[in-house]
Amino acid sequence: MNGKASREGPGRVRSTRTPGPRPVPLSSPWPSQRNDAPPDHQEIAITASDPVPPREDGTPSAGTATSAVELRGITKRFPGVVANHDINLTVRSGTVHALMGENGAGKSTLMKILYGMQKPDEGTIAINGEPCEFNTPGDAISRGIGMVHQHFMLADNLTVWENVVLGGEKLHGIGAKAKAKIKEISDQYGLGVRPDALVEDLGVADRQRVEILKVLYRGAKILILDEPTAVLVPQEVDALFDNLRELKSEGVTVIFISHKLHEVLAVADAISVIRRGTTVGDADPKAVTARQLAEMMVGAELPSPESRESTVTTTEMLDVKDLRIAKTDAEGIERVVLDDISLRIHKGEILGIAGVEGNGQAELVEAIMGMLPLDGGTVTLDGKDLSGSLTRARREAGIGYIPEDRHKHGLLLEAPLWENRILGHVTEAPNSKGVLLDPGAARKDTWRIVEAYDVRTPGIEVTAASLSGGNQQKLIIGREMSHQPKLLIAAHPTRGVDVGAQAQIWEHIRVAQRAGLAVLLISADLDELIGLSDTIRVIYRGRLVADADPATVTAEDLGTAMTGAASGHLESDAEAVEHFHEILAEGTEAESDAGPTDTADDPQAGE
């Protein structure tokens, strides 16, 4: 790397970093200007990929010119908003077709229509050239359409084959014939699924393959994948892409919903972009750049955050020592879920925790928050021992919390926004006066949060469920930041939100960090961890097994440690680090001082 700038924090070896823009995930750009009106439909290098030749027996194969899905003039209205407007989409058979767009842009609504979960107000659907009308998901399944949702729908206490057969008992029975069919499909598509394995023993990548097998078992030839890489490490992403290529070679059509630009460019045969409810462009991934895609998605260029000096101070804010938690499983066996965890975070520091889900991250957060009793160890915040304190006392002491699952732990979905503003801070101003709640002050402050954090909503009396995922997350962050926390625990803060909302969330965290906020950042997005963190620790099977400086490590090497194949201090090859940062920075040269763009205010698009 040419030129060097120092970056250091307490107890850390002085490291070097390339001057200028700091590497930042392509999946989380910083739009430079507001542009509400979608442009005319664009075609960027819309040359189709070369089709795969027919098989020797003459049957069509992957990449043939026939259309598996044709959507024409799809329009869907909800009270006060048009979620989809005159959408046109053609997906060729045997291809991987990426569907991109901001959260709330209308992607989810469109896929719900294709999967029979909602009916369009206008427009037509054709599957393999035949007009179709779907009233239920069962209608879509009968036409060979399957959908793998971002949040898996598996029963942990059942085996793989029991999960696959559940609800499809009439297809191949519930015995040896069903098992044999599952094994046949797994082998045919290279999924490597073990039918007799218990789902609770599987990692997230294996669970995802089970979900894919479930829809293939029901005869799906058109597969919808919703943010399939959100919880995968780089090696697992590569394995998933190999699976998708195998599916494609067998004639399966894949609709790949994602906002990770570099992943889409790596796996897709064609790309369509939706913005503010309508299709705005198609692209050939062989000829389009990440910057062009970002411009189509958000109506602006993708700036990279400007280079910043370290904000880490010598003042210790959080001190976790020798944390240990054991849980008893359903069979009465005690399992250690956190084993001798120790970490420190200083004012102005972001400590990132990398790990495959299920390795103790959730328990670490719950232990610090007081939601799980400790079997050993201490939690100290700003010099005060909180080890025996209740969650409310820890909140009042200055811990802000962005939960991993905003629906389960962050919001009351059917409650109005102003009531959600009170959650977790019932005893604090402006929500209460003495022992009584103050609804008027809470309503007034909710409006302040809506304006300050750009929460796109028609009012504060609407339910949290009516907001898109990105706007739900901004509401939570606004609520937590409003109480001037000393420590912010951010668990997957940008999961399932669009590029515009990600940019805003990142900036709010950084502004607070510069003011001295200590942040514990837990994320499955390694690009995000490297782009935001001052220090990274890797958790594996309940232990912190590795550490890294974001300036000198790649996502691939972090992923290796996350699977238990590496430990200790991680430092990647200098050329590999430079190449990794070049990939992250591709197409992100633009003004860094411009404000973020709006996210579309489609309340029905949700995740």
Q: Where does 32-190 show beta strands of DSSP type E?
A: 42-44, 67-78, 81-92, 96-101, 122-127, 130-132, 145-148
Would the pLDDT of 27 be above 80? no
Would the pLDDT of 86 be above 80? yes
Check residue 133 and give its pLDDT. 92
Mean pLDDT along residues 580-587? 59
Question: What are the tens digits of pLDDT across the range 368-405?
Answer: 999 999 999 999 999 999 999 999 999 999 999 999 88
Which tokens belong to 228? 């399939």
Would the pLDDT of 222 be above 60? yes
| Percent of the chain whose predicted confidence (pLDDT) is above 90 | 33
Check residue 557 and give its pLDDT. 87
Mean pLDDT along residues 237-244? 84
Q: DSSP state, 212?
A: H
Q: Per 3-state DSSP, what percentage of the chain is helix, strand, and coil (rounded to 5)?
A: 30, 25, 45
- Pick the closest to residue 570 from 544, 529, 536, 539 (CA basis): 536
Check residue 83 and give its pLDDT. 84
| Dihedral-angle region of residue 322 (phi above 0 means left; psi in -120 to 50 means alpha; beta otherwise) | left
Note if the bond before 403 is cis, omega within 30 degrees. Answer: no
Q: Which long-range contacts (CB under 8 A, 24 or more apart) does 506-511 make?
A: 506/28, 506/30, 506/305, 506/532, 507/30, 507/596, 508/453, 508/477, 508/478, 508/481, 509/350, 509/477, 510/305, 510/308
Between CA 71 and CA 124 the distance in angstroms is 6
- Pick the closest to residue 289 from 29, 492, 514, 504 (CA basis): 29
| Percent of the chain whose predicted confidence (pLDDT) is above 70 | 80
Amino acid at 309: E
Would the pLDDT of 325 be above 50? yes
Would the pLDDT of 601 be above 90? no
| φ, ψ dihedrals at 300, nearest 5° | -160, 170
- Pick the closest to residue 207 from 179, 234, 230 (CA basis): 230
Q: How confident is the model at residue 128 (pLDDT cuts 50, 70, 90)?
A: very high
Residue 191 CA to its chain's centroid (Å): 23
Residue burial 62-72, b: 16+ Cβ < 10 Å; e: rest:
bbbeebbbbbe
Are 253 and 93 in contact by the 8 Å Cβ rule? The answer is yes
Check residue 11 and give its pLDDT. 36
Comparing 435 with 321, the larger pLDDT belongs to: 321
Residue 512 CA to its chain's centroid (Å): 22
| Dihedral-angle region of residue 214 (phi above 0 means left; psi in -120 to 50 means alpha; beta otherwise) | alpha
Least confident segment among 126-130, 314-318, 443-447, 591-595: 591-595
Check residue 441 and give its pLDDT. 93
Question: What are the tens digits of pLDDT across the range 487-517?
Answer: 999 998 887 676 667 777 888 888 889 899 9
Instruction: Specify the pairing of strand 518-522 against strand 81-92.
Output: unpaired
Measured distance between the N- and C-terminal CA atoms of the chain, rounded to whole angstroms: 39
DSSP letters, 182-208, are HHHHHHHTT----TTSBGGGS-HHHHH
Mean pLDDT along residues 518-540? 90
- Pick the closest to residue 300 from 506, 33, 504 (CA basis): 33
Would the pLDDT of 596 be above 60? no
Least confident segment among 15-19, 290-294, 444-448, 512-516: 15-19
Amino acid at 405: D
67-144+221-297 and 316-585 share one CATH topology? yes
Comparing 575 with 300, the larger pLDDT belongs to: 575
CATH 3.30.70.100 fits 67-144+221-297, yes or no: no
Q: Is 167 exposed, middle or buried (0-12, 13-18, 19+ CB in 10 A)?
A: exposed
The whole-chain average pLDDT of the chain stands at 79
Check residue 152 and give its pLDDT. 74
Are 328 and 357 in contact by the 8 Å Cβ rule? The answer is no
For 47, 86, 104, 273, 284, the CA distances from 42, given in Å and listed in that order, are 13, 15, 20, 9, 12
- Pick the closest to residue 355 from 172, 179, 567, 206 (CA basis): 567
Mean pLDDT along residues 577-587? 63
- Pick the closest to residue 492 from 440, 532, 432, 451 (CA basis): 532
Sign for the pseudo-dihedral over CA of 171, 174, 177, 179: positive
Which tokens belong to 244? 């998708």
Check residue 209 and give its pLDDT. 83
Between CA 564 and CA 35 the distance in angstroms is 45
Would the pLDDT of 63 be above 50? no
Place of tokens 């328990």: 363
Q: How confident is the model at residue 584 (pLDDT cuts 50, 70, 90)?
A: low
Between CA 554 and CA 563 the distance in angstroms is 15
Would the pLDDT of 519 be above 90? yes
Which tokens belong to 83? 């979620």
Q: How confident is the model at residue 315 (pLDDT cuts 50, 70, 90)?
A: very high
Would the pLDDT of 236 be above 80? no
Between CA 369 and CA 398 the distance in angstroms is 11
Mean pLDDT along residues 60-82? 75
Predicted TM-score (pTM) of the model is 0.67
Spell out the domain ranges in the chain.
67-144+221-297, 149-218, 316-585
Alpha helix stretches (DSSP H) within 228-337: 234-249, 261-267, 290-298
Which tokens belong to 171? 């297809």
Return the CATH number of the domain spanning residue range 316-585. 3.40.50.300
